[in-house]
Structure 1
Amino acid sequence: MKQDIELPAFFEDYRAALGETIKECVHVNTERASTGTFDSKFGGHPYFPKGEMYPVDEKGKPMRLLAQINFEQVPHIRNYPKAGILQFYLSRFDKHYGCSFGRSIEQKNYRVIFFDNIETDESKLLSDFSFANADEELFPIKSEGKLTFTKDTQIITANDFRFAPLFGAEDIEEHDDELEQYFEMYDPFSHLIGGYPNFVQYDPREYHHPELTELLLQVESDNTLDIMWGDCGVANFFISLKDVKNKNFSKVLYNWDCS
């Protein structure tokens, strides 16, 4: 995104403030395909060293891989890892896909795991994941997908809880038409690393975790891979700037919403 961004008329008076929000992001592109052990993916089987404790939910049942991001395959953006494998797991037996809807960062029915040093000897990695399969399970992804990445920049989305304060005492809701134009221009739903999130309803961080300013991953509903969050919703994972810089993924907020 160029610095000379296009804005609806009302927002012109706030060009400088909005320009300050521009930040790097990575768009995640999906393709329905089989994946290798070290590939970035949605669904499928994870990279997982033997001897490590496989993630289980609060009932002790093995969780299933939602997403795996190999940062060596991702264009680097500021503050995010340059290497290592980041994984997102969800409970297979929770009707809300392991989500507490914006309140808790206790990873009871979801888990975020980071492997900083990658074991390349596949004989030392798990290859049989039948223990994590089940005939009856609840999971938002039905098909395995390989991921590729495109680096970009992004301006703050209108759904982000930090958007309205940029306008001070001005009630932006009174400018419906131009706000709708802004939504159409800068609030597209997409799979995303970094940048700014989107929501079907509202940003849960405003009331519960405003310190979690960084978008770690966004996964939208996607017909390509049969991904569905409720009624065509979107899922987000958030982390603090300090923790993402330090590669500490123990305090990550997971939320999804739909209409």
Structure 2
Amino acid sequence: MNKIEIPELFKEFEDRILKTIKISNEITYKREETLPWESKLGGMPYIENTQQYPKDKDGVPYFFLAQINFEEIHGIKDFPSEGILQFYVKRDDVYGLYEEDGFVVRYIEKVNKCYENLVKDVPVIKEDEEFYPPYEYEGKMIFTVRSMPVSAHDNSFNKVFEGIKFTEVQEKESYEVFDGYGSRVGGYPGFTQGDPRNDKKYDTLLLQLDMDDECGIMFGDSGVANFFIASEDLKKCDFSKVYYTWDCC
């Protein structure tokens, strides 16, 4: 795990900053065909023969975005120690962002690593001119545990530094020092247009997908996608109420 080094420019706020530290699992990708139960971007999701592939209210299969195998995640408070969490989005030009049924998060508590019990293919969908996948290639997720301070993009940033007036240099450098960009599970988010969470209960970052060259991730124009959950729901492994958003330049 990385050691937090407070830059000299912000050393006077060290106590405040250290109190915000959260553990994240930073994601890098290896472009390759993945196993059904691995943490991944795209590819074939883990679906047992007894399960149905998720569909929207019109009966159109969702687009499989990613899945996390919690056995591969380490150090994040309240996260399950096993099971798979899957993320699906609607097949439209904004990936279901404004639709009531725009996305699905599915939790599979027990994982059976036996090919014979699994669905082998996703539903075939004819080409849709309005839908462009937000990534080009399937990829295996590789996790690195990181301690990170509050990001400048998070709504809580202003509260942490309440009553503090940054110098012009500090203001400029804060977005570099307190950077929230990158793909991760847990920790703090990054946004291109600001934190849209009006409901403070969605305090835990389940998954952030940022631009990536290895798998060609791109939401809109240099966008970032986020999924959040309330910590109380996470403790109960209740993934029925998740906040989903993405924004771009």
For normalisation by structure 2, the TM-score amounts to: 0.92
Q: Which residue does the alignment assign to 1:190? A: 182
Match runs of 1:64-213 below 5 Å: 64-92=63-91, 94-100=92-98, 108-129=101-122, 131-136=123-128, 137-172=131-166, 175-205=167-197, 208-213=198-203
Partner-residue secondary structure (3-state), 2:16? helix
Deviation at 1:238, TM superposition (A): 0.6
Deviation at 1:146, TM superposition (A): 1.0
Identity of paired residues, percent?
Answer: 36
Check 1:229–1:253 CA distance in 2 against 1; reply closer, same or farther (3 A cut): same
RMSD value over aligned CA atoms? Answer: 1.8
Structure 2 residue runs without a partner (length 5+): none
Partner-residue secondary structure (3-state), 1:135? coil
Deviation at 1:152, TM superposition (A): 1.2
Amino acid at match of 1:150: T
Q: Which residue does the alignment assign to 2:6? A: 6
Q: Which residue does the alignment assign to 1:17? A: 16
Deviation at 1:244, TM superposition (A): 1.3
8 Å CA contact 2:227, 2:245 repeated in 1: yes
Q: Distance in 1 between matches of 2:57 and 2:133?
A: 16
8 Å CA contact 1:86, 1:115 repeated in 2: yes
Partner-residue secondary structure (3-state), 2:233? helix
Partner-residue secondary structure (3-state), 1:254? strand
The alignment covers a number of residue pairs equal to 246
Partner-residue secondary structure (3-state), 1:242? helix
8 Å CA contact 2:233, 2:239 repeated in 1: yes
Deviation at 1:171, TM superposition (A): 4.6
8 Å CA contact 2:37, 2:111 repeated in 1: no
Q: Which residue does the alignment assign to 2:45? A: 46
Q: Is residue 2:28 matched to residue 1:29?
A: yes
Check 1:225–1:61 CA distance in 2 against 1; reply closer, same or farther (3 A cut): same
Q: Which residue does the alignment assign to 2:236? A: 246
Amino acid at match of 2:96: G
Deviation at 1:8, TM superposition (A): 5.2
Structure 1 residue runs without a partner (length 5+): none
